[in-house]
Amino acid sequence: MNFELKPLGLVGVSSEKCDALIVLVPHTFKGAKDDLSVLITQAIKSTDLETKPGKMLALYRPMQANAARVVLAGVGDGSARQVRTALLAAVASVKSPAFKKLLVCFAAPAREEAIRAAVLAVADATYAYTHTKSKPEARILQKVVLTATNATEVQASFDRAVAVVAGVELAKEWANRPANHATPVALAQAAEKLAQLPKISCEVLGPKEVAKLGMGSFLAVAQGSEQPLRFVVLRYSGAAKSQAPTVLVGKGITFDSGGISIKPAAEMDEMKFDMSGAASVLGVFRSLSLLKPAINVVGLIPACENLLSGRAVKPGDVVTSMSGQTIEILNTDAEGRLVLCDALTYAERFKPAAVIDIATLTGACMVALGAVRSGLFSTQEALGSALFAAGEASQDLCWRLPLDEDYAEGLKSGFADVANVAGRAGGAITAAKFLQRFAEKFPWAHLDIAGTAWKSGAGKGATGRPVGLLVEYLLERTGTQ
């Protein structure tokens, strides 16, 4: 799907040939004397059109436009959130087998954040998963043209949004694939394919290399599966070697049965999404390859399956992490933190400016924040504030949770340096406190995306979050607007 931005208002749009035209109408709309403006003004006056977000008036081949379908869609105050709400509904209403070219027109000058929201909403509304279908129904839409009278002013925001879409859709693709089509080896191959793009390189470590590094915690999780683990090291080199990189660590559990502490059968199929953190790292690198910012970024992906077998790690086992700290594994379903802790130790060698790990880590975070905001933890105020701001700007929202030392009390063990779980209370926080022990040598943040990485129910599928948040954060570090 190709995106284009044109400097057109309602007069120019009316003559553009397309399969569908969506006109975004804010409550401040003031029409001119052209035919399309008059139509909108009359529709509002007659109350056939409301400018509340999600309210629409659908027309078929009206004389005022050269489009098979026209939808006048209210966008309220024109904010990013309201533009997204309007477009998700409007695009759904115009889908058809002939839906190949779409025009989206801002009836008033567009804000930068609204342009980004429009691009992402159209992509989200038309996304189609096809990889494992024998008769796939691929995305029909081929061309999307956004128009605004102030197109020149918002071009940079548009370009950023198009790059984010590429990253989000790569993340969706890999998170959506079932575990037998997204093994640790396959995930590593996807990373190696990214290394064909400019400024990106990739190194993949196998079980022998990981064992030599002393990653006993990571190895313990992987030992129950016949699928060999992979440890992926991606590098985006956009700045001088002397510039400290930002390191992204993505949890890559390609299927999580819970191990010996096995999960309930209901909805266990959704545990293919447990590598969504890793998928988001792949997505960020795809976006970086298009935007080419002057920054250095490292991506680390510890990838394995968490299965139960005669070789699987057992509750009560004690393992030695790469840091030298010993861990009593009280619950084998708390495996994400066991692979991440070794990756965090590995990150030290890059002398990073900051390390951010991304993981579908705890059901407790889903209980706390639902599917709206990802959980954010950070040991550095500036880093936490920057990530929160990036979430607000990108509409890929997060919420900061505490890291009080009292929460670590439950992780004490009589048989090792630390236990891998505490009690049920504050589970998202105690998981973060476990990771914090391995992140003391650099500014660190943790994003718990257990509630935001995928949707359940009829619309089951990956969301591609938090690619938008991470790209926004990285670009702001370069001063890119």
What would the DSSP string read from start to end of 129-168? --TT-SS-------EEEEE-TTTTTTHHHHHHHHHHHHHH
With contact defined as beta carbons under 8 Å apart, do 210 and 219 qualify? yes
Residue of 84, 111, 172, 337 marked catalytic: 337
| In a domain? residue 181 | yes
Residues 218 and 83 both lie in one domain: no
CB neighbourhood size of 207 (10 A): 17
Shared-domain flag, residues 142 and 171: no
φ/ψ region of 457 (left if φ > 0, alpha if ψ in -120 to 50, else beta) reads left
Judge whether residue 479 has pLDDT over 80: no
Asked if residue 361 and residue 295 are part of one domain, the reply reads: yes
Residues 378 and 424 in one domain: yes
The answer to whether 263 is a known catalytic residue is yes
Note whether 220 and 357 are same-domain residues.
yes
Q: At residue 342, does pLDDT exceed 90?
A: yes
pLDDT score recorded for residue 480: 44
- Answer yes or no: is pLDDT of 396 > 50: yes
369 inside domain: yes
Q: What is the DSSP letter of 281?
A: H
> How do 230-237 and 398-400 pair as beta strands?
unpaired
Q: What is the DSSP letter of 227?
A: S
The per-residue pLDDT for range 188-221, each reduced to its tens digit, is 999 999 999 999 999 999 999 999 999 999 999 9
pTM for the full model?
0.96
Which of the listed residues 116, 149, 182 is the one where a domain comes to its end? 149
DSSP conformation letters of 104-130: EEESSPPPHHHHHHHHHHHHHHH----
- CB contact at 8 A, 296 and 236: yes
Residue 481's pLDDT band (cuts 50, 70, 90)? very low
Judge if 340 and 372 occupy the same domain: yes
pLDDT at site 54: 87
Same domain (yes/no): 251, 287 = yes
Q: How many CB atoms lie within 10 A of CB 37?
A: 20
CA separation, residue 203 to residues 178, 209, 469 (Å): 24, 11, 25
Question: Is 405 within a domain?
Answer: yes
> pLDDT class for 478, splitting at 50, 70, 90?
confident
Q: Which helix (H) or strand (E) holds 357?
A: strand 354-359
Domain extent, residue 460, equals 166-478
Give me the torsion for CA of 387, 393, 397, 401, rounded to 10°.
40
Report the C-alpha gap between 384 and 244 in whole angstroms: 18
The least confident of 92-96, 217-221, 314-318 is: 92-96
Q: Can 337 be counted among the known catalytic residues?
A: yes
- Please tell me whether residues 106 and 182 are part of one structural domain: no
Q: Is 200 helix (H, G, I), strand (E, B) or coil?
A: strand
- The percentage of residues in the chain with a pLDDT greater than 70, rounded to a whole number, is 99
Rounded to an integer, what distance in angstroms lies between the CA atom of residue 463 and that of residue 468?
11
82: domain CATH number is 3.40.220.10
Q: Which two tokens stand for residue 243?
A: 């510039």
The residue assigned the tokens 């370069």 is 478
Diameter of the chain measured on Cα atoms: 80
- What's the number of domains the chain is made of? 2
Instruction: Give the DSSP H/E element, type plus range, for residue 68.
Output: strand 67-74
Q: Which of 288, 191, 192, 193 has its CA nearest to residue 236?
A: 288
154 lies in some domain: no
Query: Over the stretch 356-382, which tens digit does the pLDDT of each residue have?
Result: 999 999 999 999 999 999 999 999 999
Q: What is the percentage of the chain residues whose pLDDT exceeds 90?
A: 95
Query: Which residues, 6 or more positions from 441, have their beta carbon under 8 angstroms from its beta carbon?
Result: 348
Residue 228 falls within a domain, yes or no? Answer: yes
159 occurs within a structural domain: no
Mean per-residue pLDDT for 56-69? 95
d(CA 406, CA 25): 51
**Count of alpha carbons within 13 Å of 395, Cβ hemisphere only?**
20
Q: In angstroms, rounded to a whole number, what is the distance separating the alpha carbons of residues 101 and 3?
A: 10
Of the residues 199, 263, 441, 477, only one is catalytic, namely: 263
